[in-house]
Structure formats: C-alpha cells, structure tokens
Amino acid sequence: MKLLYIHGAGSSGLAYHYQSQRFPDSEALDLPGHPDLRPCDSIEGYLEWVRGFIAARRYQDVVLCGHSMGGAITLLYALRYPEELQGIILVGTGTRLRVHPDYLQQCREPGANNADWLERRMAAYYPGVAEDICRAMRQRSAEIGPAVELNDLLACDRFDVMAEVQNIRLPALVICGAEDPMTPVRYADYLAGQIPGAQQAIIPQATHFVQLQQPQAVNASIADFLQTLN
C-alpha cells in the first residue's frame, strides 16, 4: 500500500509534516508551482499531473490523502479513475469549494514584498501550530507566493462534484477540524453522507490545518482507516 498526500491551495508537502513522520513509507507531493515548475490552472490539470506522478513510479495499491484543494483532486481522481486507488482520505475539503472574495483580494493585493499577504496567510491558516512548523511553512509560502495561491483558489472556486460524489465506491475517510471556518463540519457531514460506507472523524480544537494542529488525533484516524484496507 502506498499512501500519498496532496496539499491544498498555495501550500506544499510540508502541510503533512507529522503524517510523513508517522507513516514512514508515505509520500507528500509538492504539486507543480509549489514552488517549482508551473502550476496547473484547474483541478483537472492537477489530477492528471498526480496521475502521471503515480504512473511514472509504478505505485500500486495507492491511497490518496487530500487536504482542501488536495481533497478536490482526490475526489476527482476517485470519480474518474477508481480502479487505480485502494482508498481515499479527505481532509478539510468538500464537494464544492467556493472561495470568499476576501481571500482572492488578499492574493491580488499582497503588499510590498508580499508582506501583507504573508502575514494574513499565517494568521488565518496556522493558529495552534507548533512554532518550528510555522517557520517552515512561512518560508515555503514566501517561495510559492500569492500568484500561485490565487491560481489555486480560482481553480477551487470552479470545482463542483456535488452531483457526482455519490458515485464514489471506494473506502473513504473524511476528516475535519471542528472549528474549521473555510471547509466547515457541514461539508464533511455531506461527504460522509454521500459516499457509501465512508468513515468520519471530527477533530476537536482544530481549524483548517487540522493535520498540523492535532496531528496525534489525525494520525490515529488515518491508522485505523488503513487497517481496514489490509
């Protein structure tokens, strides 16, 4: 079994720091543009890049774990190529990912040297995350930049599989921070209700980056789910 993590908009594989440590044979991808190469301009484009990444390495028995935009990529993969996956894990995501205009505007008006955008990003996304991880995320965010995040958020804003999600027939785990303002619990409830047999874990005292804020609880949920796939 190969567990692969797909990060969210404007983020990177660092978002799965604790999961990469807990599951040593797992792998956290850096999508194109995060920070190397050119970003894809749609969820479909990222899907095909991830599929190519998997095929080039001949990975088998793949379990995809997607956070936020990564969850959108994972959902689309499960709908289009279910025979290539063994299961899916959806973290802080939804069948639709409409983006508040304020987030788009922050990317369009990042301030001198992107300082305003970077400060707002850190304050919004990483409360409760350990200081050393915050420093690493800040550095990576600075390397990626607001233009890539804007690109990703616009791709998310166009994403909608609400009418199709019930067709997923793969084992699924849905994880959400109990206090997530961006992809709230009702999104997770809908996912878990629409995907037959899906498991659900609502993690207390966590917001959008639940996997960094409450890693032990998230890792325990993932470990329990993977056990059901063996």
In this prediction, residue 68 carries a pLDDT of 98
Main-chain dihedrals φ then ψ at residue 108, nearest 5 degrees: -75, -25
* Confidence band, pLDDT 50/70/90 cuts, at residue 169: very high
* Per-residue pLDDT tens over the stretch 45-63: 999 999 999 999 999 999 9
Residue 171 predicted with pLDDT over 90: yes
CB contact at 8 A, 215 and 206: no
Mean pLDDT over residues 199-222, rounded? 98
pTM given for the model? 0.97
Residue 162: phi and psi, rounded to 5, are -60, -35
Say how far apart CA 152 and CA 146 lie, in whole Å.
10
Task: Match domain 2-229 to its CATH number in 2.60.40.420, 1.10.1060.10, 3.40.50.1820, 3.30.70.260.
Answer: 3.40.50.1820
**Which burial class, exposed, middle or buried, applies to 9 when counting CB atoms under 10 A from its CB (0-12, 13-18, 19+)?**
buried
Taking the alpha carbons at both ends of the chain, their separation in whole angstroms is 8
Distance (Å) of CA 144 to CA 35, 199, 209: 5, 33, 18
Q: Where are the domains of the chain?
A: 2-229
> Quick check: bond before 35 cis, omega within 30?
yes
Residue 2 has pLDDT above 90, yes or no: yes
What's residue 162's pLDDT?
96
The H or E element containing residue 45 is: helix 43-57
Tens of pLDDT along 63-108? 999 999 999 999 999 999 999 999 999 999 999 999 999 999 999 9
Dihedral, 2, 21, 91, 211 alpha carbons, nearest 10: 180
Give me the percent of the chain exceeding a pLDDT of 70. 100
pLDDT of residue 74: 98
Closest by CA to 229, choosing from 189, 178, 170, is 170
Q: Residue range 23-33: average pLDDT?
A: 97
pLDDT bucket at 230, cuts 50 / 70 / 90: confident
pLDDT over 90 at 112, yes or no: yes
Q: Is the pLDDT of residue 32 over 90?
A: yes
Q: How high is the pLDDT of residue 63? A: 98
Mean per-residue pLDDT over the chain, rounded: 97
pLDDT, tens digit, 9 for 90 and up, residues 157-167: 999 999 999 99
Are the C-beta atoms of residues 210 and 91 closer than 8 Å to each other?
yes
**182: closest CA among 11, 48, 5?**
11
What is the average pLDDT across 116-132? Answer: 95
